[in-house]
Amino acid sequence: MNRNVTKVLLIEDNEIDAKLIKVYLKDATRHEENEASPIAFNLTVRNSLSSGQEFLRTNDVDAVLLDLNLPDSFGLDTFFSIYKNKPQVPILILTGLSDRELGVRAVREGAGDYLVKGEVDDRLLRRSISYAIERKKSEEALLSAQNTLEKRVNERTLELKERYDEIEQLLCAISNDLILPLVTIKGFLGYLKKDVASGGRQRIEIDLGLIGDAVERMEALLIRALDVSSVGKLSGRREKVSYGEIVEEALSLTADKINAFKASIAIASDLPMVNVDRARIVDVLVSLIENCIRHNCSSRPLKIEIGYQEKDGEIVFFVRDNGTGIDQKSQKDIFSLFYRNSAAENSLAGLALSRRIIEVHGGRMWINSNESEGCSVYFTLPESIVV
């Protein structure tokens, strides 16, 4: 028959009391023999605080039975000396009738229980030790759950702050950027009226062209705002699909640009199955492929590689190219939605939105790039399976 062995340290200088505890724990073991998993108590006895502390430094125990009045320590100081070094171990206080209040105070300070000498029998001792151990386990589990919850709350709070900051940036960017095209439109509407009145056809076409450019600028800004507002909402129609099918769809959508730059595409074989919002992941791949094309190097043919690797127990997807790469300074803010870098602004906004889509799926996205040596964008998608 299997027994659960409970290791108990008794720190008691009174030999008679120590012998009684030994007898009680033996009796408690016998009373448990009818149970499916009887408990056996492995008792170690020390007669001073210092010898008990020395034992605890090199041995693990499940519980401590502690007399508060020892040759080298007295009162609650005895309890605190053990508790501060072994807070995870339940400590049961042994007191005399006159020290009952001291036992109560020790429990308030963190002791698992207190037992009055002369009122203890084998059943009470066994139950008190077992209950104190279970309470301590429950406290540790609760504390661990609380710490985990606090960590998640902090992470979520930080995430919400980042989203709030991006919304604030969005409003600021839209407010500032829309002023310029509006001023342009307003100004050239005035010129247009004059040119229409004077019959200057060539000037009219120039005015209309500049107004059209301003309208397109406004449209691009508003589209980006819509992208930001909707990127956190998946269609709700996640499906298990071959990642290879997603790659083929993205390549078909970018075929004209790929052909225009005569880019060669290398695709890994046996791509995994993924559980995703297909349309969103296609958007991500389209954005990454267009980013490769946009940053091609004129001195060598563009090569784009699409594949995956297994690392540290997870599947990591990648899209890499041999283009101009991204300098180290830009990489720090590369995923910021409103990072500006002249002609690269749209591609960088695409990277920011792509990472958001991956994060909404529960994954991560990062880059590895050296200037003039190309760029690799990596991301994970939970529930990916290599078939």
Question: Would you list the domain boundaries of the chain?
Answer: 4-120, 156-230, 239-380
Give the pLDDT score at 120. 86
- Do residues 171 and 224 touch, judged by C-beta distance below 8 A? no
Give the pLDDT score at 276. 93
At 220, the pLDDT band (50, 70, 90 cuts) reads low
Give CA angle at 147 (113, 383), nearest 5°.
130
Give the pLDDT score at 28. 56
CATH architecture of 156-230: Orthogonal Bundle (1.10)
Residue whose pair of structure tokens reads 């308030």 in the numeric block: 108
Instruction: Considering only CA atoms, give the Rg of the chain.
Output: 36
| Distance separating alpha carbons of residues 242 and 268, to the nearest angstrom | 13
Minimum mean pLDDT range among 56-60, 206-210, 242-246, 295-299: 206-210
Q: Residue range 120-146: average pLDDT?
A: 88
Give the pLDDT score at 370. 82
At 73, the pLDDT band (50, 70, 90 cuts) reads very high
Residues 6+ apart with CB under 8 A from 292: 263, 302, 304, 319, 320, 321, 323, 375
| Distance separating alpha carbons of residues 382 and 362, to the nearest angstrom | 6
Give CA angle at 15 (67, 110), nearest 5°.
15
The phi and psi torsions of 59 (rounded to 5 degrees) equal -135, 145
Q: What six digits make up the tokens of 68?
A: 């508060």
| CATH H-level, domain 4-120: superfamily | Response regulator (3.40.50.2300)
Residue whose pair of structure tokens reads 């071959």 in the numeric block: 242
The phi and psi torsions of 68 (rounded to 5 degrees) equal -75, -25
Residues 6+ apart with CB under 8 A from 203: 191, 195
Q: Residue range 113-129: average pLDDT?
A: 88
DSSP states of 18-80 as a string? HHHHHHHHHHHHHHTTTSSS-EEEEEEEESSHHHHHHHHHH---SEEEEES-BTTB-THHHHH
Q: What six digits make up the tokens of 323?
A: 């283009």
DSSP states of 124-136 as a string? HHHHHHHHHHHHH
Residue 140 Cα to chain centre, angstroms? 22
Residue 133 Cα to chain centre, angstroms? 32
Q: Residue range 81-85: average pLDDT?
A: 92
- pLDDT reading at 70 higher than 70: yes
Q: Residue range 356-368: average pLDDT?
A: 89
SS3 letters for 292-333?
A: HHHCCCCCCCCEEEEEEEEECCEEEEEEEECCCCCCHHHHCC
Amino acid code (one letter) for 239: E
- pLDDT reading at 308 higher than 70: yes
Q: What is the CATH number of domain 239-380?
A: 3.30.565.10
Q: Which residue has the higher pLDDT, 306 or 100?
A: 306
| Distance separating alpha carbons of residues 198 and 191, to the nearest angstrom | 10
Q: What is the pTM of this model?
A: 0.48
Q: Residue range 337-345: average pLDDT?
A: 49
Give the pLDDT score at 221. 64
Burial 12-23 (b: 16+ CB within 10 A, else e): bbbeebbebbee
Burial of 298 (0-12, 13-18, 19+ CB in 10 A): exposed
Give the pLDDT score at 343. 44
Residue whose pair of structure tokens reads 């078939």 in the numeric block: 387
